[in-house]
Every structure is written in structure tokens, then in C-alpha cells.
Amino acid sequence: MSDIFSTVGKKPSLSKSVESQIEDAIRVRAFKPGDRLPTEQEMCAQFGVSRTVVREAARMLHAKGLISIEKGRGMFVRSVSGESAAAPMNRYLQMHFERSYVMDVVRARQILEPAIAELAAKNRTDDDLNRLAADIDALRQAEADQRELSDLDTQFHIDLARASGNSLMPLLLDPIHRLLPEIKTSIYAAVDDAKESAVQWHSEIFEAVRSGSAVAARAAMVEHLKIAEAHAERMLRRQPKTSPVS
């Protein structure tokens, strides 16, 4: 966006330039996750700039989550996780969303996840099936706090997205599911049989995916999400005035 303007009339600052060069080096895997970057002084010599410039470039890369800086040790390339990539999006949503977002989240799931279930039935591997089965078992045996139940519930859906074979799906689903986890925990707290319902429907989806039945997988997911919608509505009626804590 601002790239166009920066080429015309604007001279990118040295720190920006250095930052881009390091970022590119990380991008093309010249430095792999976990690797230690050259020291500040080495970079100063290599780029022919002062320590100030190198440090400010490093701070920007650190803020972007690409590197970690440890005092006395050095700078290290971070393995960018999907979760950390989704974190700024979550921040943004938490700052901008109104109360209605709860139903927006539900509707977004109703758009994405039936298609995901369908794709998973067609493309799932044996590894995917093992992961999904483990997710269901973990949820079935869990008796812990609602937060853990919520996380286990989420894990099944993320792994299902992974099984879809479309590498975008887990990334699109992740911010949706991690949006205000307290919402999901609220549901698990407000709805008594939420866990049993989840286990049941997850199992049904799993069976359809295992047998390769795309139609059944989609149908099961649609039903699962209808119930999730009802749960969300019930939770909203109980807590009509959820004010952001922050």
C-alpha cells in the first residue's frame, strides 16, 4: 500500500532498509528458525551503518515477531507460528468488535466449517484420522476446567481444517476459534451437556470423515453448528450485558 508512495518521493530510512534486508534473508531461509543472527557489530560492518540503525531495525523485527532478542546472548530467528500470526488479528478484533460479534463468529463458522468437513472427508490422511481420534478421546476423558474443555474442543476443529488438505483453512479458522476464548468457556459453563454434545457430534463428523462420505460429513457439521448457535444464543440470554473487561 504505502510501498507505491515510498518509491515516489520518499526515501526509505536506513533502519527500514536494513530491516527489509534482514527480513528478506529470513524469508528466503538464509537464516532458519532458531538460528542466531550476526551480532550488532557484525551487522554494522556488513551494512556499513551505525549501531543505532541496526538496533532499531532489530527492534522492528522483534515487534513483528520475526526475531527474539536476548540480552547478553544475541538475536534469534523465531519460528513464526500460526498462532502468533493470528495474535494481532485477535487484538484488532477485541478492540473493534461490538457485542454482535458473537453471532458473527457463529455465522462465520457456519460458512467455513461445513466446507471444511466436506474437504476433509475427501482428503484426510491416516495421520489426520489419528489426530482427530485423539482429540475426541481427550475431550471425552477431560473433566477439567472449562477453559481446557474449550481448548480441546477447538483443537478438533483446527485439526479437521488441517485434514481438509487446503493449507489456508487452519489459518482462517484459527482466529475465529481463538476469538475471545472466554466466550467458549462461558458456553461450557452455561450449558450443562455441552461437552457430551460436542463429543457426540465430533464423533459423528469423525466417522463420516473416516468413511470418506463428504455429504455425511457436511451434514453432521451443519447440525453440530446449529446446536452451537443455539448454545451461543442461550449463553447470550443469560449474560445480556457482557462488558469488555480488558
Partner DNA sequence: GTGGAAAAGATGTCTGACATCTTACCTGGC
Partner DNA sequence: GCCAGGTAAGATGTCAGACATCTTTTCCAC
Which chain residues interact with its own copies by CB under 8 A? 1, 13, 15, 19, 24, 27-28, 52, 55-56, 59-66, 71, 80, 82-89, 91-98, 100-101, 104-105, 107-108, 111-112, 115, 166-169, 171-172, 175-176, 244, 246
Are 225 and 110 spatial neighbours (Cβ–Cβ below 8 Å)? yes
- 239 makes contact, choosing from its own copies, DNA, none, with CB < 5 to 8 Å by partner type, with none
Choosing among its own copies, DNA, none, which partner's interface includes residue 50 (Cβ < 5 to 8 Å by kind)?
DNA
Tell how many helices (H) and how many strands (E) occur in the chain.
12, 2
DSSP state of 80: -
For DNA, the binding residue among 72, 96, 98, 241 (CB under 7 A) is 72
Alpha-carbon distances, residue 107 vs 66, 74, 154, 238 (angstroms): 33, 45, 16, 20
Alpha-carbon span 136 to 60, nearest angstrom = 41
CB of 97 to DNA, least distance (A): 30
Cα 18 from Cα 8, distance rounded (Å): 19
Q: Contact with DNA (CB under 7 A): which of 6, 7, 46, 50?
A: 50
Among 6, 52, 130, 239, binds DNA (CB under 7 A): 52
Closest CA to 58 of 48, 68, 50: 68
Give me the residues that bind DNA (CB under 7 A), please. Answer: 11, 13-16, 37, 39-41, 48-53, 55-56, 58, 69-75
